[in-house]
Structure 1
Amino acid sequence: MVIVYISLAVLAFSIIFLGVHVIQNKKKLDPTLKELTSVTQDMQKQIEGLKTEAQLLTQKQKRIQHDVQMKKSTFQQTVAEVKEVPQAVKEVWQAGHFNSR
């Protein structure tokens, strides 16, 4: 019967010892966990900032592409009209010669 009491005492001591170590380790880990939480929150804020900047850059890129396309179209239209000038001058020139005869 003594062995049973000794076993129960060792078991109780082990449970108490385990509980004390768990509490001590938890106290040691709390500052680290708080720091990790703080770092995670800071990183999340930075990620949100980067997402916002990426969206702004995408919008600017689209505006620039639209502007380039408009300028390209305007330039092509101007070139097409300039190419028509010699023909128009030729027609005016010929019409002037026919009238002077």
Structure 2
Amino acid sequence: MVIVYISIAVIAISIIYLGINVIQNKKKIDPTMKELTAVTQSMQKQVEVVKTEAQQLSQKQKMIQYDVEMKKTALQQTAAEVKKAPQAVKEVWHAGHLNRG
């Protein structure tokens, strides 16, 4: 019977020792976990900033592309009108000569 009591005492001491170790380790880990949480939150904020900047950049890129297309169209229309100008000048020239004569 003494062996049973000794075994129970050893188990109880082991459980107490384990509990003390868990508490000590938790106290050591808590500051590290708080620091890790702070770093994670900081990184999440930075990721949000990068996402916002990427969206703004994408919008600006679309605006620039639209602007380039509008200017390209305007330039093409102007070039087409300039190509027509010599013919119009010739017609006016000939019309002026015909009216004089």
Q: Distance in 1 between matches of 2:61 and 2:74?
A: 20
> Which runs of 5 or more residues in structure 1 are unaligned?
none
> Which runs of 5 or more residues in structure 2 are unaligned?
none
Q: Distance in 1 between matches of 2:79 and 2:13?
A: 95
Q: Distance in 1 between matches of 2:49 and 2:100?
A: 76
Q: Distance in 1 between matches of 2:88 and 2:3?
A: 121
* Residue number in structure 1 paired with 2:63: 63
Of residues 66-75 and 23-32 in structure 1, the stretch that sits farther from structure 2 once superposed is 66-75
What letter corresponds to residue 68 of structure 2 in structure 1? Answer: V
Match of 1:58, SS state, is helix
Q: Distance in 2 between matches of 1:29 and 1:80?
A: 75
1:13-69: CA deviations, max 9, x gaps?
111111000000000000000000010111111111111111111111111111111
* Residue number in structure 2 paired with 1:81: 81
What TM-score, normalized to structure 2? 0.93
What letter corresponds to residue 89 of structure 2 in structure 1? Answer: V
**2:32 maps to 1:14:** no
Q: What is the number of residues matched between the two proteins?
A: 101
**2:67 maps to 1:93:** no
Q: Distance in 1 between matches of 2:26 and 2:78?
A: 76
> Post-superposition, which runs of at least 4 consecutive aligned residues in structure 1 deviate over 4 A?
none
Q: Distance in 2 between matches of 1:90 and 1:7?
A: 120
Q: Distance in 2 between matches of 1:48 and 1:92?
A: 65
Task: Provide the identity percentage.
Answer: 72
* Residue number in structure 1 paired with 2:3: 3
How far has the Cα of 1:94 moved from its partner? 2.4
